[in-house]
Structure 1
C-alpha cells in the first residue's frame, strides 16, 4: 500500500460517491485507511522525539471520519473527498492542532486555531495586545513565510475588537478570527519517498507559531 493507492481510492470514491459503492468496496477502504493510520503512527513517533511538548495520539483517534455530516449539511456528498488527520491534540482542546489533509482536490498541512471559540480567541487577542511584536516576528521570519500562508477564513473584523483601539499597532492581527497557517502540497510531493521527512520539516517550522498560540490560550 502507498499514497498512490490512497489517492486512487479517493478518486474512485468521488466518481461513485454512494453508500452502495462504498459497501461493495468496504475491504478496499479499510485496507487504505489502516495503512494510512499506521503511517500516521510512524509520523507521531517521530514528532515525539523532536518536540518535548508534543502530545502523542493514536492514529485511529487522529484520523477523521470519511462520512460527511448530512444532518447539518444535507447537500453534501455522502463521503468526503479527502482523508484528514489531526495530530498533537490534548483533551481540553486548548492546543492548536497539526493537521494533514490529503484529497482529490487539494492537499495541505495546517496548524493553529481555526475559528476558535470566544474564550480562546479572547486569550489570543490578549496575548497579541501584550506582546504582539513576538508573534509578528515569528510570522515575518523568511523561512516561515516561504513555508506557509495564513489561512483566510474571510471573517475578519472590519473594525477593532471590543476593548481595543482601531489605532492599535497590531490591529491587523487583532481583527483576525482564525489564527492558522497552511502549507500546500501537491500529490507528487505526497507520493515522494521522503514525504514523512517533509512533514517533519514543516512541523519544525511551525513550532514557534503554535507554541505562541498554545501559551496564549493556557496562561
Structure 2
C-alpha cells in the first residue's frame, strides 16, 4: 500500500498527461495491486452479505463541466453494490493520500425512495436512532449519518417533527475517514471489513423500509 500512496502523491503533484504517460507502466502495476486489495474487501463482504457487482473507478477525470482541468484522479476508488432489489444500500472505498475514507448507505436516493424514507422517519424514528446508537456504529461512524440537507422541512413535513434532523437530509450515508498511517497499517483490511460489517443492521432496516409501504405490505414480487 505504501507504493500506492507514494505514486498517488506524485500524481497529485504532476497531474498532467506527459508525466502520467512516462509512468503508465508503474500505474498499471499499482492498479493491479489496488484491484487485488479491493477483491479481498469483496471477499470479506461476501462472507456476510450478497454482493452483486464491484466497480473500480477510472483514474481519468471527466473535465468537460469542471473548472478543474487536471486529467487524473489522484486516488483509487471502488464501489460494491448489493444483490437483487431486496437488498438496498452500497459500499464505497477511496484510497487517497491524506483523504482516504469508506462510506455506505444511500448517496442520492430517487424521489420515491427519498419520500418513503422520510415518511418512515416521520412515522417513527425510534428504530433508526437505536441503530445509529449501536456500539459498532458509534465506534466506526460516530453514530451519525452525513449528507446534504435542506435548510427547512421538506414540503408536506412539519418543522417541529422530532425526526426533522433526519427528514431534512437528502442522502443518508455513514462515513469513516482514514489517515495515511491507518491505511498503511497491517490491519487496514480488517478495519475496512469491520466497518462495512457495522453497516449491516442499518442496511437491513433500510432495505425493509424501501421494500414495504407504511403498513408493512411488500412492494416487490
TM-score interval w.r.t. the shorter chain?
A: 0.7 to 0.9
- Match for residue 138 of structure 1? 131
Q: Which residue of 1 aligns with 2:155?
A: 162
Asked if structure 2 preserves the Cα contact closer than 8 Å seen for 1:45 and 1:56, the reply is no
Q: Which of residues 51, 56, 59 is equivalent to 1:55?
A: 51
- 3-state SS of paired residue (2:51): coil
TM-superposed deviation, 1:113: 1.2
Match for 1:36 among 34, 37, 53? 34
Alignment partner of 1:69: what SS?
coil
Shift of 1:91: 7.5
Aligned to 2:176: 183
Distance 1:5 1:11 in 2: 10
Is the CA contact 1:48–1:56 (under 8 Å) kept in the aligned structure 2? Answer: no
Aligned 1:44-83 pairs, distance under 5 A: 44-51=42-49, 54-57=50-53, 61-83=54-76
Secondary structure, aligned partner of 1:14: helix
CA-based RMSD of the aligned residues comes to 2.1
Aligned length, in residue pairs: 211
More helix by share: 1
Q: How does 1:118-133 map to 2 (within 5 A)?
A: 118-133=111-126
Q: Which residue of 2 aligns with 1:116?
A: 109
Q: Alignment partner of 1:75: what SS?
A: coil
Long gaps (5+) in structure 2: 213-221
Any unmatched runs of 5+ in structure 1? none
Which residue number corresponds to residue 25 of structure 1?
Answer: 23
Please, what TM-score do these two structures have when normalized by structure 2?
A: 0.86
TM-score (norm 1): 0.87
